[in-house]
Each structure stands twice: as structure tokens, then as C-alpha cells.
Structure 1
Amino acid sequence: MTRGFIGSDALTALTHRLADQLSVTREPPSNLAFSPLSIYSALSLVAAGARGGTLDELLAVLGASSRDELAENGRFVAEHALADRSPSGGPRVGFASCVWHDAGRTLEPAYIEAVAASYLAEIRAVDFRNKADESREEINKWVAAATGNLIDSILPRESVGKSTAVVLANAIYFKGKWKKPFKKKSTKVERFYLVDGTAVDAPMMRTGRSQYIDVHHGFKVLRLPYRSKEPGASKKRRRGTSSGDDPAPPLPRYSMCVFLPDARDGLWDLVGKIASSPSFLRDRLPDEAVEVDKFRLPKFKVSFYGKLSGALRDLGLKAAFNVDKADLTDMAPDFVDRSGQLNRLVLKDVFHRAVVEVNEEGTEAAAVTVCDEDDEGADWESEPEPVDFIADHPFAFFVIEEMSGAVVFAGHVLDPTKHQDTLHDV
């Protein structure tokens, strides 16, 4: 029986490690949005075909004890935590995985069976060797369809070629309406103060309604629940994972959580606190609504588009990128070509793209992670009380599925008037 998402702490830890890597490599610092869950899921597809030291490194980065644990998490996410709730009035959610392989490079039957069962992954044969660009376009079309066209492509020109053997992808789409929408007529342009002390004019959403807010030393936390009309759902919010003895896992519930430092230049210190423990985030989410005097939250659209290979190496994932050490033989066996050259799968690039847009009605977000593999020769807490919540300076945000504790999207807003989406290496 499915026990639920047993890797929520590991996913949260990966979230913070990636956020740190993606932040420090961007000069000057800028807005950030990414999907920890999509990256986790795509790397799990790689781990399903890895062995030896390559598998050990993947498990360490993902915080899992075994491939079986990753498979159980994948099955729970695909079938439950990110199952579409729109037919019953909840968020529209999409979760999809796909593996493309060159028609001349067959995958191991056990790998195909494993990723189809655990990640609901599609398997498609393409002609990378002779029709690389057409294959790339096919993958980009799949990405657009899987993300509601919020992301139109992921693979740039020349990112695949005749040496490409396998491409693995995970895509997540989310569109949820706030449980308590903001009134558009109340939105006013106001000053938003940047980390360098200057300010920009940004549309700020306002409300006089009570909100889920907790006040902590040096920062405040806002939890904005998304609408969910589930018959028989418990009114009491539960955290963490479901027990193995539960007859069924709890129904998914989503929220956006905003961590706002008191100081205008306090975001990086706050991010450090959040990253200090995997439980820091969930332990500080508000449970009770409080009366609000002044409330300001900017509308924003933030994005990210980059290659994560360097960041993942820094996190300890090295063997998969090294032709002399990579062992992905549970995905596809090594082979000797006509020239006598030993060829094996090696991880070439990991592309990630994410978009998160927040307005008066709710949130629309999408992310896709693609792992490109080549065949290479072997020589390469406080009391509720009336509060103000004025997010007129940089803050961090997380979109979480509350029942499992899974972080679906994460990022920070340094300037709500900026929207960057240029491919870069991290």
C-alpha cells in the first residue's frame, strides 16, 4: 500500500540547496522561480537506470535510501499528490514524464517497466542520429502541451545531435485560484523597495480580510490557500506524510507561502534561516487566520531558464557526467561500435525552465526538467493577533502540497516588475 511521499524532508533540503546554488551564480542577483519537485522527479528517472557509484551519488543528492524509495515517492506524486483536482473545483494540476530514446539505442525492458509503473512515464523512439532537430522539436511540442503552453520550449538549437541517445523529461503545470481572491479594484501601484535601496512602482494587491499569518522574530509568514472543493475533506489542516496504516492518503491541498523579512535587505539572512533545517519551512506555516490591518502583496511573474549541470555537480552529482565513471547500464547497456570504441550513456546536460505568475485570482505556474544523455566513448511560532503584512521589499515564496509536504515551486522576488527568461549555465 502506498505510504505517501516519504521524501518530503529530503525534497525540502534539496529545495534549499538548489535555491542557494541558483542564487549565488546569478550576477547581478535577480528574481528566481524553479520547481524542486520537477528536478527531483527528472533525476529519479535517471536514478531508475543507474548502478554503482552513479546511483549512490543520485540517491545522496535526492536524499533517498534506495531506488525503491524513489519509485514509491514517484508513484505517490504522479497518482495522488499532483493528481488533477479541477473536476471537483480544486486546482488544475498536470504531472507528466517522458523518455525519448534513439531508435537504434534500445532501453532495457526492466527500465521501461519501472518508469512506466512508478512515474507514469511515456516511452517514445525518435531518430536523434539522422533527424536531431525534428526530434528536438517533438520534445519541445510535448513540453508545451504538458505545461498548458506556459512554457513553449526547453531544448535550444543544437542541444541534441547524432550522439544523443536518451532524453528524459518531467513537466509540472499548476493553476489554482485563491480560496479568498483579491479584488482587482483594490490593487494600487505603490513603491517596492529593492535590495540596493532604490525603489520601483509595482501593482500591489490589497485586502482587509483576515489572513493566515504568523509573526516570528525578524520575519513574517503568509499562507495563501488555494480553493479546493473536496467532499468530505477534513477541515483541520494536516502536515507531513500519511501513515502506512491509513486506509487512503489524505486529499491534496495546496498553498502559497510567503516568507517576508522585517528588514528591507533581510532576504538573504532569512533564506539562510529557512535552509538551516528541512523542517524550518513546514514548522512555521500559519494554522490560524488573524485580523489584518494593512496588507500589501505585489502581483508578479518570475521565471528561470538554465542548465543545472554545474549546480548539480556542486551538490555532489559527478559520476553521471563523467564518461569514465557513469554507470547507467540499467537504462541501456554499454556497447562496442564497429570501430571497436566502447560507448556508454553519460549525462550531458540538465535543462530546467520555470514560470510562476501571481495575480488577484490566483497562481499559474509551470516547470520542466530535461536530462540529455549522450553515447560517449570511454575517454571523456507565535499567538494570533492583528498584524500588518506589507510585502514592499524582497521576499521568498513556496507553493506546497500540504498533505505530503512536497515543495512544488519555490523562488524569490527581488523586483516584481522584472521578468527574465534567458538561458544560462548554473
Structure 2
Amino acid sequence: MDLRESIGNQTDVALTLSKQILLTESNKSNLVFSPLSIQVLLSLIASGSKGPTLDQLLSFLKSKSSDHLRSFSSDLLAVVFTDGSASGGPRLKFANGVWVDNSLSLKPSFKQVVDNTYRAATNQVDFQTKAVEVINEVNTWAEKETTGLIKEVLPSGSVDRTTRLILTNALYFKGAWNEKFDASTTKDDDFYLLNGGSVRVPFMTSKKKQFVCDFDGFKVLALPYKQGEDKRKFSMYFYLPDAKDGLQALVEKVASESGFLDRHLPQKQVKVDDLRIPRFKISFGFEASESSKGTRIGVAFL
């Protein structure tokens, strides 16, 4: 299985996760999460699993074996998740952590995978008598790895003496778009909600040509990030249904057709008479294990 096929498979997995989380978690709020972070942690779990749990994880992650997952994760960390800021590209950081109770020890083979493939920091902690301290330690780690953007991944009371293992991931991305929006042209307008209502929000506007394309029932906009001498190209993509209540149908379509995203990307800049993008800041939290019970990996979280 070559790298391109693996990336395509993992994109399909990410969209499956997105659909499931949208259905179970975001009916009353906006949603933001990193499906790739969940995939990497599931791959890490697979490296220490066997039997039905391993079979379900491999099936869900569309992978032939744990070795293949490790190889793919290693490629991702080495190529995709390296910091490009020194060469004029986006600043990027991807970090993993493992927190295991003092009463347990990781098998040498698993620890080697944790250290070398996933580059995860391993921490022996005391969940029995210092649960509060562990919560603070994990939250401090997350704050450091995300440059202060995420200050809490474990709320108070989420860890107690029954906890034995915590797997953590932090993804930090900071990039500048090739074309900046002029702050003076920001205008308030209506943003339509899934419940049929609307709210007034500030919209960034532009009269410049854009990478945008019309498809059957939806539009796609790409905003490329500055890359400098970085060989990688990053973009933010917006998928907008034509119907005001069309988000659910679009998500269903995107998640059900393999390779959908690759077949629906704008390839050239065109003139846009009226471009409006809402300014947004989103904070969202959810229990991944609960949402995952509706998928083929539910056995891992029973």
C-alpha cells in the first residue's frame, strides 16, 4: 500500500469520524476537532492491542497491520508535521504523550514504538494518590505544546484512582494566508443557523480573484497559506452548501463517497463578485470515547 493510497484511506477515516461527531456532539454548537489526532492515538492503541480490539481498529483505520500503521504514522510525523516557519511556511507542532500509573510498566516493545515511531513523551505518574496533580501536569503539557492556546484538556475530576493510562495529543498550526483580508472592509451580515434562525456577525470581504468552484449543491473555496521555501502547500478549504439547511446532507455526501475531497477542489482563481467569510473563534470539547461507540471501534472503549 503506497503513501498516496494510505493518505486517501485516512482521509476517508477522518470524514467518517467527522460525520459521527457531527451527529452525536454538535447539534447545538459549532464543532472543531482534529480527526488526524484521533487517528494517530488510535494507531498507538492498536500497537498495544491484539485479538478483536486490534481487528476492529485495523478495520476502522483501513490498514492491513500494526506495522503498516506505524510506518504511515512515522511518515506523517517526518513529512507533514514538521515546523516550516524557518523556511517561511506555517509554524506547526504535533506532540504525543503517554501517562501511565506507577503500578504498571509498558512492555519494552510497545515503549519502543511509543518513543521512536510516535515520538511520545512517556510519564510515570501516581493516579492513586495524586490525581489532581496529574490533571495539572497534563494540562500544563498541553498549554506548552500549543503555545498557550489550549490550557485545559482534562477538566477537574476527570482523573481518579481508577485511571491507569492517558494518551495525549496536541496539534498547533499557525499560518498566514497568501492574500490578507483588509480589516477596514469587514462588514456585519446575516449568518444562517441550522435551526432556521440567523445572527448578525462580522464578515471578512474581498473583491480579489479566489480559488473557488461551484459543484452540484455546494461551493468550495480554498485559501492557500504562505509557504516561502517550504515545499509543502497548506490551504484552508470551505465547503458551503447552497441550501441554508444543507449542511447535514453535504456531510453525509462527503463522508459516504471515497475520494470525495480530492475530486472537489478548486484548481484556478476566478472572479468573485461577493466573497464573505465570517470571522470566527471556536472552542469545543467532547468525550471521544462516547462518540466512538457508534462506530466499528466501539469495542475498544467498552
- The TM-score by the shorter chain falls in which range? over 0.9
Equivalenced residues, count: 302
Q: Secondary structure at the match of 1:46?
A: helix
Structure 1 letter corresponding to 2:106 = L
Out of 280, 299, 310, the residue aligned to residue 279 of structure 2 is 299
Structure 1 letter corresponding to 2:253 = K
- Determine the C-alpha separation between the residues in 1 that align with 2:149 and 2:174: 11
- Determine the C-alpha separation between the residues in 2 that align with 1:197 and 1:107: 52
- Normalising by structure 1, what TM-score? 0.68
- Determine the C-alpha separation between the residues in 1 that align with 2:256 and 2:104: 44
- Determine the C-alpha separation between the residues in 2 that align with 1:122 and 1:190: 46
Q: Secondary structure at the match of 1:30?
A: coil
Structure 2 letter corresponding to 1:64 = S
Q: Secondary structure at the match of 1:301?
A: coil
- Determine the C-alpha separation between the residues in 1 that align with 2:216 and 2:243: 11
- Determine the C-alpha separation between the residues in 1 that align with 2:24 and 2:299: 22
1:90-149 Cα deviation digits (max 9, x unpaired): 111010011111122111011111121111111111111221211121111111111122
Structure 2 letter corresponding to 1:60 = S
The 8 Å contact of residues 147 and 171 in structure 1, kept in 2 or not, is answered as yes
Q: Are the structure 2 counterparts of residues 134 and 67 from structure 1 closer, same or farther at C-alpha, using a change threshold of 3 Å?
A: same
Structure 2 letter corresponding to 1:130 = T
Check if 1:37 corresponds to 2:17.
no
The 8 Å contact of residues 191 and 200 in structure 1, kept in 2 or not, is answered as yes
**Structure 1 portions without partners, runs of 5+:** 232-250, 323-426
Paired position in structure 2 for 1:360: none
| Distance apart, 1:177 and its partner CA | 0.7
Q: Are the structure 2 counterparts of residues 27 and 187 from structure 1 closer, same or farther at C-alpha, using a change threshold of 3 Å?
A: closer
- Determine the C-alpha separation between the residues in 2 that align with 1:230 and 1:61: 37
Bigger share in strand: 1
Q: Are the structure 2 counterparts of residues 266 and 124 from structure 1 closer, same or farther at C-alpha, using a change threshold of 3 Å?
A: same
| Distance apart, 1:51 and its partner CA | 1.0
1:236-275 equivalences under 5 Å are: 251-275=231-255
Q: Secondary structure at the match of 1:260?
A: strand
Q: Secondary structure at the match of 2:12?
A: helix
Q: Secondary structure at the match of 1:94?
A: strand
Q: Are the structure 2 counterparts of residues 72 and 209 from structure 1 closer, same or farther at C-alpha, using a change threshold of 3 Å?
A: same
Q: Are the structure 2 counterparts of residues 145 and 198 from structure 1 closer, same or farther at C-alpha, using a change threshold of 3 Å?
A: same
Bigger share in helix: 2
Structure 1 letter corresponding to 2:283 = S
Check if 1:131 corresponds to 2:111.
no
1:21-420 equivalences under 5 Å are: 21-26=20-25, 28-230=27-229, 251-322=231-302
Q: Are the structure 2 counterparts of residues 196 and 132 from structure 1 closer, same or farther at C-alpha, using a change threshold of 3 Å?
A: closer
1:6-21 equivalences under 5 Å are: 6-21=5-20
Q: Secondary structure at the match of 1:96?
A: strand
Paired position in structure 2 for 1:235: none
- Normalising by structure 2, what TM-score? 0.94
Query: Which structure ranks higher in relative contact order (CA pairs < 8 Å, sequence separation ≥ 6)?
Result: 1
Structure 2 letter corresponding to 1:77 = L
The 8 Å contact of residues 95 and 169 in structure 2, kept in 1 or not, is answered as yes
**Structure 2 portions without partners, runs of 5+:** none
- Determine the C-alpha separation between the residues in 1 that align with 2:153 and 2:182: 35
